[in-house]
């Protein structure tokens, strides 16, 4: 293959790659913001409520840890306000600044809300005057789900606390260090045998 043909082929491939790089997905954050701008122009002034769908919803999801829009569709409707408030209070209490800290705070809120919801279902169910085998089986499932939700909550809050703990930094400058009971670290292994 001649140099001209090889160069022409390379140019065509690079041109194609450039064109491909310009394509963005419908759900790409930049595309979503552009679509949200168009949707905002259509909304009347003073109207700040929106449906849970479309361009504005997607754009708001980019600020999930401030507005809790995805959280609002993850919990039962009666707990939405409580959950979003709990998320904000947790972020404040633990000074959540990183995405991982904020996401973990949201998991804490979701799982605590789940625990409350399942407990309320159990309480309502227990008001029944009589129960058959299906009712007892359903109650057993709810009980297991309550335990699971509670474990998820405890693990999430524990994880958040771990994320916020300062890193342990230890600097030891010695030939021998006793780290714990019955543990000995010797850095100097230059022992002469006779």
- pLDDT reading at 68 higher than 80: yes
Report in angstroms the alpha-carbon separations of 44 from 28, 41, 48, 54: 26, 8, 9, 17
Q: 78-83 long-range CB contacts below 8 Å, 24 or more apart?
A: 79/113, 79/116, 79/117, 82/113, 83/109, 83/110, 83/113
Residue 134's pLDDT band, with cuts at 50, 70 and 90, is very high
CA dist., res. 182 & res. 174, Å (int): 18
- pLDDT reading at 105 higher than 80: yes
Give me the residue spans of the domains in the chain.
1-62, 78-166
Q: What is the mean pLDDT of residues 103-109?
A: 97
168: region left, alpha or beta (phi > 0 left; psi from -120 to 50 alpha)? beta
CA dist., res. 153 & res. 52, Å (int): 26
DSSP 77: G
């Amino acid at each position: 293959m001649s140099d001209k043909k090889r160069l022409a082929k390379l140019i065509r491939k690079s041109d194609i790659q450039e064109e491909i790089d310009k394509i963005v997905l419908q759900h790409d954050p930049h595309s979503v913001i552009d679509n949200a701008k168009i949707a905002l122009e259509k909304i009347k002034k003073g109207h700040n409520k929106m449906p849970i769908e479309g361009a504005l919803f997607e754009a708001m999801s980019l600020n999930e840890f401030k507005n809790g829009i995805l959280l609002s569709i993850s919990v039962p409707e009666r707990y939405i306000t409580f959950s979003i408030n709990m998320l904000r209070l947790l972020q404040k209490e633990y000074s959540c600044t990183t995405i991982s800290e904020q996401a973990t705070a949201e998991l804490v809120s979701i799982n605590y809300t789940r625990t409350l919801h399942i407990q309320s279902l159990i309480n309502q169910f227990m008001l029944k005057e009589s129960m058959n085998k299906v009712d007892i089986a359903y109650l057993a499932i709810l009980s297991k789900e309550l335990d699971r939700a509670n474990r998820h909550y405890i693990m999430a809050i524990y994880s958040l606390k771990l994320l916020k703990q300062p890193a342990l930094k230890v600097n030891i400058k010695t030939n021998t260090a006793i780290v714990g009971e019955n543990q000995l670290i010797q850095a100097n292994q230059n022992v002469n045998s006779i």
